[in-house]
Chains A and B, each alone.
Chain A
Amino acid sequence: MKVVNWLRSRQEERELAYWLAIVAYEKSDHSFNNRVYLLYLILFFGVWVFVTLTFFASGGALLFKMINPEDPVQVALLVEILLLGFWSLYSTWRAVRRCPVLFSEEDGLLLSQTPIPRPNIILRWLLMPWLKSAIPFWIIAVTLGFSLAEVTMPGAMGANRIIEYLGFGVRSWLAIIPLHLILYGYHWSLGVVRLSSRKKQQHWIWVMLVFLLLVWFVLAQSAFMHHPIFSSILIPFSMGFDNAFQWLWWIAGWMVAWAVLVFLYRASRNFSLSRAVQQTSKELLINTALQYGITQIAAQEKTQRRLGVERRPSRIPAVDGPGILLWKDLLQSHRTFRLTNVFNWLQIFVLLFIIPVLPDLGSRGLVIMWWIIQLARISIQRLRSDLAVWPVIRQLPISTKKFLLYDFGLCYFLEMLISLAGFFLGGAMFGAQMPGFALLIPGMIAAIFSAAAFDVIRRSNSGLLLNGSVPELSAGGILLGILVAGIPLVLLVAITSGLGMVLAFTLSLGLAYLAFELAAYAFRNLNHERMF
Chain B
Amino acid sequence: MPSHLVVKQLSKKYEKFVALAPTNFELMGGEITILSGPNGSGKTTLLSCLAGLIPPSSGTVNVMGYDLYSDEVEVRRRMIYVPDVPRFYLELTAWEHLRFIAMANEVGKTFEPQAERIMKKYGIWGAKDLFPHHYSRGMRLKLGLALALIRPFDVLLLDEPTSALDIEAVKILIDELHSLRDNGVAILLTTHDPGLIDQLADRRLLIRNGEIKAE
Contact = CB atoms under 8 A, between A and B. Distances in A.
A394 B55 CA distance: 12
A309 B57 contact: no
6 contacts: A309-B134, A328-B89, A391-B83, A392-B88, A398-B104, A399-B72
A468 to B, nearest CB: 6
Interface in B179-198: none
Contacts of A391: 51, 53, 81, 83, 86-87
Contacts of B99: 313, 318
B92 A328 contact: yes
Contacts of B96: 313-314, 331
B209 interface: no
A343 to B, nearest CB: 20
B90 A399 contact: no
A73 to B, nearest CB: 52
B106 A311 contact: no
A364 to B, nearest CB: 38
B52 interface: yes
Interface string A437-474: 00000000000000000000000001101101000000
A397 B104 contact: yes
B130 interface: yes
Contact of A466 (B83, B89, B129): B83
B54 interface: yes
Contacts of A525: 55
A527 B76 contact: no
A338 interface: no
B81 A524 contact: no
B123 interface: no
Q: Which interface residue of A314, A399, A468 has the most chain B CB atoms within 10 A?
A: A314
Contacts of A322: 104
Contact of A320 (B57, B81, B86, B103): B103
Contacts of B51: 391, 394-395
Give 10 closest A-B pairs by Cβ, nearest first.
Answer: A324-B103, A528-B55, A397-B76, A332-B91, A397-B77, A310-B129, A462-B54, A320-B108, A335-B91, A320-B106
Contacts of B54: 462-463, 466, 527
Given A322-B104, A331-B92, A391-B83, 4 more contacts: A309-B134, A320-B103, A395-B76, A397-B77
- Chain A interface residue count: which class? 35 or more
Contact of B89 (A324, A327, A385, A527): A385
Q: Which interface residue of A312, A392, A396 has the most chain B CB atoms within 10 A?
A: A392
Interface in A318-337: 318-322, 324-325, 327-328, 331-332, 335-336
Contacts of B174: none
Nearest to B82: A391
Interface stretch (A15-23, A168-176, A299-307): A299-307
B122 interface: no
A309 B104 contact: no
B93 A462 contact: no
B178 interface: no
Contacts of B147: 392
B189 to A, nearest CB: 16
A529 B72 CA distance: 18
Nearest to B151: A397
A462 B44 CA distance: 13
A511 B201 CA distance: 54
B52 A394 contact: yes
B73 to A, nearest CB: 5
A396 B54 CA distance: 15
B100 interface: yes
A390 B86 CA distance: 10
Nearest to A399: B73
